Amino acid sequence: MTTSLKRKSTIRRKKKERITEQRKRQILDAALTVFSRKSFGAVTIPDISQEAGVAVGTIYNYFDNKHDLLLSLVRTYLITGPLVDLVARPPQWDDAEFMSSFLENRLTSGAENIGRFFFLFNEIQRNRELRDEYMADILTPLLKVLEKRVESGVASGAFHSSNPEVAARGLVGMILGFSLLRQIEGDRSPFQSTSNDEIVTEVTNLLLNGLLSRKDQSQ
């Protein structure tokens, strides 16, 4: 009976933990939805609580304060996901294949979300804690992986001779900036009737082959 009781209590604890995680997620999802509508500063806790369908006080049962909620938001949605996998387990393809695949992946799955997280770039710039964490966990590792690929590609002759640091930031930067422009243009983007595949192909092509045609290229 003691065993049974113990088991029961363990089961209950686990169940409780699961519920807690679900609630956190429920609130974070609501927060993200609201943040994509209003700017961060304009979002109020009641906004979030209403969207999440819980009381204001409930939010404070799961997060210390608004700032903590923001941090959790970043940790949950940015500092996880496919990018982290890519960095942690870079595939064994050759450098050109890797680049082309990386660009396609980011332009396809990353671009759709950039609008929702755009407000975070602002916060990241102003909030030292957030910035340090984002850089340490995401940006720097990603850039390092790309730099290494560029270096090895240059060494093997597959790539132009390039400064790897600039190239890595150029690649990531274009993905970021291109997605940002799509976000700003919104409804008025000329890509409404362009297939996403074509866009990805074109951008990848631009980055891999450049703008100039072969004959004009000056090595």
Partner DNA sequence: TATGAATGAGTCTTCATTCAT
Partner DNA sequence: TATGAATGAAGACTCATTCAT
Chain positions contacting DNA, by CB under 7 A: 16, 19-20, 23, 42-46, 54-58, 60-62, 65-67
Kindly state whether residue 172 participates in binding a second copy, applying the rule CB under 8 A. yes
Kindly state whether residue 61 participates in binding a second copy, applying the rule CB under 8 A. no
- Partner whose binding site includes residue 23, from DNA, a second copy, none (CB under 5 to 8 Å by kind): DNA
Binding a second copy by CB under 8 A: which of 52, 59, 71, 124? 124
Residue 36: closest CA among 183, 182, 177: 183
Kindly state whether residue 178 participates in binding a second copy, applying the rule CB under 8 A. yes
Binding a second copy by CB under 8 A: which of 72, 115, 145, 151? 115
- Partner whose binding site includes residue 108, from DNA, a second copy, none (CB under 5 to 8 Å by kind): none
Binding a second copy by CB under 8 A: which of 11, 42, 55, 56? 42
- Whether the CB-CB separation of 95 and 152 falls below 8 Å is answered with yes
- Partner whose binding site includes residue 11, from a second copy, DNA, none (CB under 5 to 8 Å by kind): none
Residue 78: closest CA among 45, 39, 35: 35
Residue closer to a second copy by CB (options 26, 84) is: 84
- Partner whose binding site includes residue 3, from a second copy, DNA, none (CB under 5 to 8 Å by kind): none
Distances in Å between the Cα of 59 and the Cα atoms of 36, 56, 127, 136, 154 are: 19, 6, 22, 28, 51
Candidates 12-20, 24-32, 76-84, 206-214 — which segment interacts with a second copy by CB under 8 A? 206-214
Candidates 13-21, 44-52, 85-93, 181-189 — which segment interacts with a second copy by CB under 8 A? 181-189
Question: Distance (Å, rounded) from C-alpha 16 to C-alpha 13?
Answer: 5
Residue closer to DNA by CB (options 47, 104) is: 47
Question: Distance (Å, rounded) from C-alpha 99 to C-alpha 102?
Answer: 5
User: How many CA atoms within 13 Å lie on the side-chain side of 48?
Assistant: 30
- Partner whose binding site includes residue 66, from a second copy, DNA, none (CB under 5 to 8 Å by kind): DNA
Question: Distance (Å, rounded) from C-alpha 164 to C-alpha 81?
Answer: 25
Residue 162: closest CA among 173, 175, 147, 172: 147
Tokens 């799509």, located at residue:
182
CB of 93 to a second copy, least distance (A): 14
Question: Distance (Å, rounded) from C-alpha 86 to C-alpha 203?
Answer: 20
